A and B are shown apart, each in its own frame.
Chain A
Amino acid sequence: MTYDVIIIGSGPAGYTAALYTSRAFLKTLVLSGFEPGGQLTTTTEVDNYPGFPKGIMGPQLVTDMKAQVERFGAEIKQEVVTEINKESVFTITTQSGKYTAKTVIVATGASAMYLGLPSEEKLKGKGVSACATCDGFFFRGKVVTVIGGGDTAMEEATFLTKFAPKVTVIHRRDEFRASAIMLDRAKKDERITFLTNKIVEEILGETEVTGVRLKDAKTGEMIDYPTQGVFLAIGHKPNTDFLKGFIDLDPKGYVAVKRAETPLSPQTETSVPGVFAAGDCVDPRYRQAIVAAGQGCMAAMDAEKYLETHGTEDHA
């Protein structure tokens, strides 16, 4: 059986796309990937998604989105896509099967970036983490560091003071990308200290983290700085490796969507006709749940329109 639409990813972009396609009576399959529900499952309160005057917990928000999608009959399977091919229809390969579809919506989002050090890999889950809200609890009474200089770093540092008596933010420059308001809040907190112009060369420890080796960006001087937890907040990377060679990506790996030729052209179409993309995997700029949801809606409407004009021939 060939689906009208296969949606890859189950964050706000994927679920919103599925809501629109299934309500339009398109036969829809969502492949939910290694992180069902997406990035919002790793956070606590979401206060800027409209419709929830008291805020809503991130995991709850995506659980509700899923229930809403299921109400209209979309199928959801927890599988990770490894390959897409185009013949007369699209064939999507996962670790456990193959599916075919007339259109595809890529909504694979982004994942936290790591430094890429072998010592970091070895100590993941043993003091190295990219999610303070998930793992902060285990650092009660411990001394921790946050690596990074953006809003995420400030947010993680502030959150970690709930558990850790001392939090050090380590940043490789002396200016911060973080917004004034977030930086100010962190700087006012006496439990948070800042180390700037320091590059992390190594994470120290055998079975758990004991410190970080830092190189001064200006003088080259090396120091070992003791810490029991290292929280990475150095940005995100789009989950698009498996799409290389199939659709055009920009140099940083974000899916390239075609510039709309006229105000009425589809805005989410990729370099391959019939493949659309939405959310953090196309968007290095806004990276918000509401934007991802909005783009998911756009991709669904673009796919629907595409099926009206191309999908009538029987491919089977």
Chain B
Amino acid sequence: MADVTDQTFDAEVLQSDKPVLVDFWAVWCGPCQVQGPIVEEVAAAVGDKAKVLKLNVDENPVNAQKYGIMSIPTLMVFNGGNVTKQFIGVTSKDTLLAELNK
């Protein structure tokens, strides 16, 4: 699954014409290791309807701070550059897919 960074966030997420799901994660976060494979499955299932990206909060502090991340995993859905939904903590495939297929 593709990564998004502080450098590419604007182009990849904010300017996207499709909904984007961003998984904020870190290597040291146990629950994030659980969330990762779930997000991979979501990416495979959602196909072309939405983009699914992950952002490493250690390496990309600017956006982690900008979106007030204080707990990970946090999953945010962006539509037209705005956050339209967020989930804090491990979130199931069904819940994420339901949101992206809205």
Contact = CB atoms under 8 A, between A and B. Distances in A.
Interface stretch (B8-16, B45-53, B89-97): B89-97
Interface in B60-90: 64, 68-72, 74, 88-90
- Chain B contact patch, size range: 20 to 34
B31 A207 contact: no
Contacts of B57: 137
A229 B68 CA distance: 13
Interface string A243-286: 00000000000000000000000000000000000000000000
A138 B30 contact: no
Contact of A137 (B26, B31, B90): B26
A95 B70 contact: no
A238 interface: no
Contacts of A63: 33
Give chain B's interface secondary structure class.
loop
B38 A125 contact: no
B33 A138 contact: no
Interface residues on A, range: 20 to 34
Counting chain B CB atoms within 10 Å of each CB, the highest count among A41, A57, A63 belongs to A41
A36 B94 CA distance: 15
Contacts of A124: 71, 88
Contacts of B92: 34, 78, 80, 95
A138 B92 CA distance: 24
A129 interface: yes
B29 interface: yes
A43 B70 contact: no
Interface in A106-140: 124-127, 129, 131, 133-135, 137-139
Given A37-B30, A127-B70, A137-B57, 12 more contacts: A35-B31, A35-B34, A41-B34, A57-B30, A59-B33, A124-B71, A125-B70, A125-B88, A126-B68, A134-B30, A134-B31, A135-B72
Interface of B: 26, 28-31, 33-34, 38, 57, 64, 68-72, 74, 88-90, 92-94
15 contacts: A34-B92, A35-B31, A35-B34, A36-B90, A40-B30, A59-B33, A63-B33, A124-B88, A125-B74, A125-B88, A126-B70, A129-B70, A134-B29, A138-B69, A229-B70
